[in-house]
Amino acid sequence: MSETIETQVLVVGGGPGGYVAAIRCGQLGLKTTIVEADRLGGTCLIRGCIPSKALIHVAGKYESMLAHVGAGKLGIKLDHAPQFDLGQAVDWKETVVDKLNGGVGALLKRAKVRAVHGKAVFADAKNCTVETADGDVQISAQHVILATGSVVAGIPSIPFGEHVWSSTEALLQRELPKKLVVIGAGYIGMELGMAYARMGSEVVFVEALDRILTLFDRPLLKPVEQWLKQHRIPVHLNTRAQRLIEDGNGRALEVAAADGTLSTLPCDKVLVAVGRRPATQGWGLERMAVDMNGPFVKVDERCHTSMRNVWAIGDLVGEPMLAHKASAQGEMVAEIIAGQRRSFNPVAIAAVCFTEPELVGCGLSPDEAKAQGIDVIVGQFPFAANGRSLAMESGTDGGFVRVTARADNHVVVGIHAVGAHVSELSGEFALALEMGARLEDLSGTIHVHPTMTETLPEAALAALGHAIHA
């Protein structure tokens, strides 16, 4: 049976951008409908950020327990090595996902947002048909917020299948592969590859560029590279994956070095992690008459497209493809539709990579600042001199906090860190930049002792030339 819905706001996509936009619209008294073809929460919650961090947590816990076998560590001894069951770990991970998925549904219901489950296909900018389990639903809206997100990018010569995974399949496996080759040494490949290595797989990375994790500058990468060396995990740089070979000798990935030399890497499975692309296909975007910016939907500083009352947010509109950016844009668009004056102009958006150790980048690196003609001073403080880090066994991985500020007025333009648990400092970094903090603000703010946050004022003091503890 078909149904017709007329709504003030139609949100397409139930990810961190879409559901936040819908909730805020509901809070502002707008009649709102959200359409999601999969489960509420989107890629981040269902098959990305949250499940990957859950498995990374499992991997870390298992690896730490192994250190207590035999002679023991910290006075804790285990007579036998712990047993690891990936299937049970995945089951636990799904309980986390299910809880958050249910929470999103409850929040939408509380905001009086109607959720329609199915695929939306647009006939024009304001009208779509949703194919649901109970039949087609016709939806007509005054405003449309496009939040379709992104999908994994693949390699045509190495199609996804039983033995070739995307990040989605990597988070659903119930058995560990003995040998795993990861194509791509960006944040997705590194996070998942390291997790599998810590769980017991033999992991090899293949990267077409001349370095790993290009989002971060080289000084930050040294502790990560050191971890890879200590765990004897090969990283083949300047190397391109060619094809998967299966013959009487087993399965292997054929790769080509920069000089064209071909070689093979034995493997049981291959994880392709070469990035993501905006989800623009299969739902009628071409019939909405919106301008494009390359592969992305073109928007202005309010996330408004070239079509009146059609908005786009999140991965659909370009880099950085981060959930927290999408959420911020979704909240902003809802308030604009409700009549408020808003624009999307953050000073900086922090990015985190949950590798070993973790990486945080917020604002400009020293080299980026200099490239913009900014004369800077830089202060750095090691976690090896931080009591809380040492007490948590996390101060010996070469990690540090680095503050970059203008030389003339000491306004902070960038804060970066590498080390265990540094993701939890990212909010303070972003807040400092957004509030226009100066080095004196950071150094003059009394931070709790003993905490890892003490490294931030110490780094600021180092930039001013008088660090206390280093």
The C-alpha atoms of residue 439 and residue 392 are separated, in whole angstroms, by: 28
User: Active site includes 324?
Assistant: no
**Is 119 in the same domain as 27?**
yes
Q: Is 444 helix (H, G, I), strand (E, B) or coil?
A: helix
Residue 309, in any domain of the structure: yes
Residue 235, in any domain of the structure: yes
**Is 140 in the same domain as 172?**
no
Residue of 42, 32, 61 whose CA lies nearest to 315:
42
Residue 300, in any domain of the structure: yes
**Is 146 in the same domain as 291?**
yes
The C-alpha atoms of residue 171 and residue 43 are separated, in whole angstroms, by: 12
pLDDT at 128: 97
Could you say which of 80, 236, 447, 449 is catalytic? 449
Q: Which domain holds residue 364?
A: 351-464
**Is 145 in the same domain as 207?**
no
324-334 b/e (C-beta count within 10 Å ≥ 16 → b): bbbbbbbbbbb
Residue of 287, 351, 289 whose CA lies nearest to 319:
351
**Is 140 in the same domain as 41?**
yes
**Is 148 in the same domain as 285?**
yes
CATH value at residue 171:
3.50.50.60
Residue 230, in any domain of the structure: yes
pLDDT at 252: 97
**Is 133 in the same domain as 211?**
no
pLDDT at 249: 80
Residue 344, in any domain of the structure: no
**Is 171 in the same domain as 259?**
yes
Q: Beta strands 250-256 and 262-266: pairing type? A: antiparallel
Last residue of a domain, one of 251, 274, 297: 274
**Is 355 in the same domain as 227?**
no
CATH value at residue 366:
3.30.390.30
pLDDT at 363: 98
Last residue of a domain, one of 274, 308, 327: 274
From first to last of its 470 residues, the chain has per-residue pLDDT tens of: 579 999 999 999 999 999 999 999 999 999 999 999 999 999 999 999 999 999 999 999 999 999 999 999 999 999 999 999 999 999 999 999 999 999 999 999 999 999 999 999 999 999 999 999 989 999 999 999 999 999 999 999 999 999 999 999 999 999 999 999 999 999 999 999 999 999 999 999 999 999 999 999 999 999 999 999 999 999 999 999 999 999 888 899 999 999 999 999 999 999 999 999 999 999 999 999 999 999 999 999 999 999 999 999 999 999 999 999 999 999 999 999 999 999 999 999 999 999 999 999 999 999 999 999 999 999 999 999 999 999 999 989 999 999 999 999 999 999 999 999 999 999 999 999 999 999 999 999 999 999 999 999 999 999 999 989 97
Residue 107, in any domain of the structure: yes
Residue 343, in any domain of the structure: no
**Is 131 in the same domain as 25?**
yes
pLDDT at 20: 98
**Is 137 in the same domain as 283?**
yes
pTM, to two decimals: 0.95
**Is 138 in the same domain as 56?**
yes
76-92 b/e (C-beta count within 10 Å ≥ 16 → b): eeeeeeeebebeebbee
Determine phi and psi for 196, rounding to 5 degrees: -65, -35
Task: Look at the chain and report how many structural domains it folds into.
Answer: 3
Determine phi and psi for 6, rounding to 5 degrees: -110, 125
Residue 87, in any domain of the structure: yes
